[in-house]
Amino acid sequence: MSFPDLPPALASALAARGYAEATPVQSAVLAPEAAGRDLLVSAQTGSGKTVAFGLALAPDLMGEAARLPAPGAPLALVVAPTRELALQVKTELAWLYAEAGGRVVSCVGGMDPVAERRALLAGVHIVVGTPGRLVDHLERGNLRPEALRAVVLDEADEMLDLGFREELEAILEETPAGRRTLMFSATVPRGIAALAKTYQRDALRIEAAGSAGPHGDIEYRAALVAPHELERAVVNLLRFEAPRLAMVFCATRAAVARLSGNLAERGFPAVSLSGEMSQAERLRALQQLRDGHARVCVATDVAARGIDLPELGLVIHAELPRDPDTLLHRSGRTGRAGRKGVSVLLVPHPRRRLAERLISAARVTAAWGPAPSAEAIRGRDAERLAEEARALLAEPPADTDVAIARELAGAGAEALAAALVRVLRAPLPAPEELSESAPRPTRREAPEAPREGGAEGVWFRVDVGRAGNADPRWLLPFLCRRGHVTRAEIGRIRITARETQVEVAPYAAARFAAAARRTEGEEDAIRIAPMQPLPRDHQPPGEEPRRRPVRPPEGSRAGRPRTPRR
């Protein structure tokens, strides 16, 4: 549907921005049954909800008038969870109400509170802010709530997740009892339902999922990688997809700093966002992304909440999200407002089942496969470079370039074309070589793991035993981490004085052998080797089977003890 019965100033603003049709959430809040009522709206990020509640506020702010009254005490209050989201909401509402004479002011942490106080006292129509700063202005008397006709809680579930319940209740208690209350939330957990029951009157419940379902414009993928190759897999994904903008998520600030620094060293124009950064640093990083000076943003979950980058085409989960909601919030940075996007989870082999549970709980479907290989990237580069070269050759040469071209013509067309390709290839970061290991079979395909009295697995020798403090409590996690297997794929473990013998499921033996040979970090002193030939067709590259099988002995040969790092 188109936008019905809007004030001419708002209709003109929408037309100037290219809005021809209303999104589902915009249609729902403008429906006749929603007029004048409190609303509890479920809407995903990128669904056009900011414009939706901006339009829903119009009758409360303007009535039948063509323009807003002179600015004074605020008429509407919008509460958002983060500084970035609040500033984006302010920008959206400013252009929407510009022709109607609207004055929109932001009040967010990290900005100058004195300047905000002056702006509020000068008169305003709409105030957009974060919970803590709004409470501060209310307590100091800078924000006068007596004239408020409507309050909007944007991303209400995120505000509760961030611990702002007390601030939200304090704000709502200060506002007039007859106000209209609009709550927008991606999900409606118990806390949101309780808040709505307390502070809303006969609220209309709206579920505004798009026709394609949740995140219908996002293609989900899951890439199996070796645990120690996560950073290399990020490099290869960025090179293979080559998005205009990409966001990479890490779990901690330390991981963000490390990964963003390493990407910059490899030649990627990258910036970081984390909680320890000042507001000026965060705004500078976002501006670099919007201006095109940076193409990759490495961020923590909290730092990236509410960020809207329209050209963001790729989200990479360098570390798995902690829960399904975090997966959806991260992925929702792309595929916004009708654009397509890709969300890729990098899954270490031992954590595949956890990733499968996350994806299932989030009610999305992901295509499983390996991370892009260096060979695949070189093939994609050949296509892109050829296309870029053809585009350059199609441009008419400038007069100053013709003379130089005539001097170089003697070198031959093929030599000149090769030189052009080298110039185009030079700025591209080198792809990373990733280990090739077969992914673990799915639960239906996987044979049963070796157990006592069951099918025999493949035995491996680990050169640490009781003399080296070998203990199943650290040994089993170490084997899973080092060999890229799960606990279910480890069978019997026999610890002797000088070594440990480990049984591995036949289908995982080649992967375990290949991964165990690669030693990095503090545990590189511990050696792991097969005690018998690997199953046929599962031999790792470059490994010849032994001629005679070696059975696990009752008493093992003495070897040099190793002291593990725990």
User: How far apart (Å, rounded) are the C-alpha atoms in residues 74 and 84?
Assistant: 21
Q: Which of 332, 352, 372 is the last residue of a domain?
A: 372
User: How far apart (Å, rounded) are the C-alpha atoms in residues 312 and 333?
Assistant: 7
Using CA atoms, how far residue 557 sits from 175, 430, 528, 552, in Å, is 79, 45, 15, 11
pLDDT score, position 124: 96
User: How far apart (Å, rounded) are the C-alpha atoms in residues 123 and 373?
Assistant: 59
Residues 6+ positions from 17 with CB-CB distance below 8 Å: 95
Residues 6+ positions from 137 with CB-CB distance below 8 Å: 107, 113, 116, 117, 120, 129, 143
Cα Rg of the chain (Å, integer): 30
DSSP H helices in 242-278: 253-265
- Give just the sign of the alpha carbon dihedral 291, 297, 302, 308: positive
Chain centroid to CA 175: how far?
36
Do the beta carbons of residue 198 and residue 153 sit within 8 Å? no
Helices 413-425 and 374-394, axial angle in degrees (round to 10): 120
244 and 385 together in one domain? no
Residues 6+ positions from 309 with CB-CB distance below 8 Å: 245, 247, 286, 289, 290, 297, 333
- Which residue reads 């909401």 in tokens? 89
pLDDT score, position 450: 53
Residue 316: count of CB within 10 angstroms of its CB? 27
Tell me, what amino acid is at 508?
A: A
Identify any residues that bridge with 249 across adjacent strands, giving them in sequence order.
299, 317
Q: What is the pLDDT along the chain (566 residues), one digit of tens a residue?
A: 467 678 899 999 998 888 878 888 888 898 899 999 999 998 766 678 899 999 999 999 998 888 999 999 999 999 998 888 898 899 999 999 999 999 999 999 888 999 999 999 999 999 999 999 999 999 999 999 999 999 999 988 888 877 889 999 999 999 998 999 999 987 777 888 888 889 999 899 998 754 444 556 789 999 999 888 899 999 999 999 999 999 999 988 889 999 999 998 888 999 998 877 877 888 888 889 988 899 999 999 876 766 778 788 999 999 999 888 888 888 888 887 667 899 999 998 888 889 999 999 888 999 999 999 988 998 888 888 888 777 777 778 777 777 777 767 777 777 777 777 777 777 788 788 887 654 454 444 444 455 444 457 899 999 988 888 888 778 888 888 888 887 778 888 888 888 999 999 888 888 888 888 876 655 667 889 998 887 664 444 444 444 444 444 444 443 444 444 44
Using CA atoms, how far residue 562 sits from 263, 303, 528, 565, in Å, is 35, 43, 12, 10
3-state secondary structure of 220: strand
Indicate which CATH number applies to the domain containing 469. 3.30.70
Query: Which token pair is 45?
Result: 């990020």
Is residue 442 in some structural domain? no
CA angle 104, 105, 106 (to 5 degrees): 130
143 and 163 together in one domain? yes
Residue 21: count of CB within 10 angstroms of its CB? 10
Residue of 222, 208, 184, 206 lying closest to 331 (CA atoms): 222
pLDDT score, position 552: 45
CA angle 328, 332, 334 (to 5 degrees): 140
Q: Which of 372, 405, 435 is the last residue of a domain?
A: 372
pLDDT score, position 246: 94
φ and ψ at residue 184, rounded to 5 degrees: -115, 130
Query: Which token pair is 550?
Result: 């070696």
Do the beta carbons of residue 313 and residue 241 sit within 8 Å? yes
DSSP-derived secondary structure letter, 124: B
Residue of 532, 527, 493 lying closest to 509 (CA atoms): 532
CA atoms within 13 A on the CB side of 547: 0
Number of domain units in the chain: 4
563 and 482 together in one domain? yes
User: DSSP letters along 351-406, please?
Assistant: GHHHHHHHHHHTT--EEEEEPPPHHHHHHHHHHHHHHHHHHHHHSPPPHHHHHHHH
231 and 295 together in one domain? yes
235 and 92 together in one domain? no
Domain that holds residue 477: 449-566
pLDDT score, position 212: 44
Is residue 328 in some structural domain? yes
Is residue 283 in some structural domain? yes
Residue of 185, 77, 92 lying closest to 133 (CA atoms): 77
Is residue 200 in some structural domain? yes
Residue 293: count of CB within 10 angstroms of its CB? 10
Residues 6+ positions from 63 with CB-CB distance below 8 Å: none
Q: Which of 186, 207, 228 is the last residue of a domain?
A: 207
pLDDT score, position 402: 73
Is residue 104 in some structural domain? yes
Question: How long, in residues, is the chain?
Answer: 566
Is residue 549 in some structural domain? yes
Helices 83-96 and 8-16, axial angle in degrees (round to 10): 110
pLDDT score, position 188: 79
Residue 151: count of CB within 10 angstroms of its CB? 23
- Which residue reads 């407002």 in tokens? 337
pLDDT score, position 82: 85
Do the beta carbons of residue 215 and residue 49 sit within 8 Å? no
Is residue 443 in some structural domain? no
131 and 24 together in one domain? yes
Indicate which CATH number applies to the domain containing 23. 3.40.50.300
520 and 411 together in one domain? no
User: How far apart (Å, rounded) are the C-alpha atoms in residues 328 and 48?
Assistant: 17
User: How far apart (Å, rounded) are the C-alpha atoms in residues 332 and 157?
Assistant: 15
Query: Which token pair is 262?
Result: 């390493």
Tell me, what amino acid is at 361?
A: A
User: How far apart (Å, rounded) are the C-alpha atoms in residues 34 and 69?
Assistant: 24
Query: Which token pair is 174?
Result: 């200060």
100 and 157 together in one domain? yes
Query: Which token pair is 433?
Result: 């070589």
- Give just the sign of the alpha carbon dihedral 270, 273, 278, 284: positive
Is residue 421 in some structural domain? yes
184 and 55 together in one domain? yes
386 and 531 together in one domain? no
User: How far apart (Å, rounded) are the C-alpha atoms in residues 295 and 270?
Assistant: 6
339 and 399 together in one domain? no
33 and 177 together in one domain? yes
User: How far apart (Å, rounded) are the C-alpha atoms in residues 145 and 172?
Assistant: 10
User: How far apart (Å, rounded) are the C-alpha atoms in residues 151 and 14?
Assistant: 23
Residue 531: count of CB within 10 angstroms of its CB? 18
User: How far apart (Å, rounded) are the C-alpha atoms in residues 443 and 432?
Assistant: 30
